[in-house]
Amino acid sequence: MGQRPALLMAACQGGKTAAADAEAGDTLEMKYAKLLTIVKHGDGEESSDAAEGIDYQYAEAIIANPWKAGTMLHRYILIPKGKEGDKTVAMLARRRSTGARCTTDTVRTPVERSAVFIAPHCQLMYEMGCQQAIRGVCDLDYINIPDVKKRAALSRNTAARKASAQNTSAQNPIVDCGSSMAPDIERI
């Protein structure tokens, strides 16, 4: 019985460490994704209301390490494009000299071009309404989405692509990047 409270206290301490890593910000609640934390950061002096309708300066997506509790596996900094975003990138570059304990990637949003490696992610992009951002796919034979097949066929046939330039999806052809286990880097 004496060991159980000590174990619970250790688990609570791990949670405090993860919360401290997220710094001050508005944390989005995740019901099922327990290893994902998204924190929206807004800095009153540097952000403005005219920042393209964005109500935050940047968002931080933190992926917890499932193999070592209380540590981060990866961190993404999502920064809106534009002048305000450029200022945010410069500010975060100055802060980053403190040193992160995990890999951090900066992503400018909205994402306009992406390579999707698996069919469920491709379908998710369609469900979210951002299918025009799909510019490359892996394992095309296993993706049964008619628009993806059509856009991939158009990218192989440049004459057909020019002929159907008025079609919105034809303006964003999809490149077949090969196998997801060994993607063709030149095509990506």
* Span 38-89, pLDDT tens digits: 999 885 444 444 444 556 788 889 999 999 998 989 888 888 888 888 888 8
Q: How many domains does the chain have?
A: 2
Task: Map residue 183 onto helix, strand or coil.
Answer: strand
Do 56 and 143 fall into the same domain? Answer: no
* Span 76-94, pLDDT tens digits: 888 888 888 888 888 777 7
Do 80 and 95 fall into the same domain? Answer: yes
Q: How confident is the model at residue 116 (pLDDT cuts 50, 70, 90)?
A: very high
Do 81 and 154 fall into the same domain? Answer: no
The answer as to whether 181 is a domain residue is no
Q: Which of 68, 94, 109 is the last residue of a domain?
A: 109
Per-position DSSP letters for 8-57, written without gaps between them: HHHHHHHHHHHHHHT-SSEEEP-SS-TTEEEEEE--TTT--TTSTT-SSS
Question: What range does the domain containing 143 cover?
Answer: 114-176
Do 78 and 95 fall into the same domain? Answer: yes
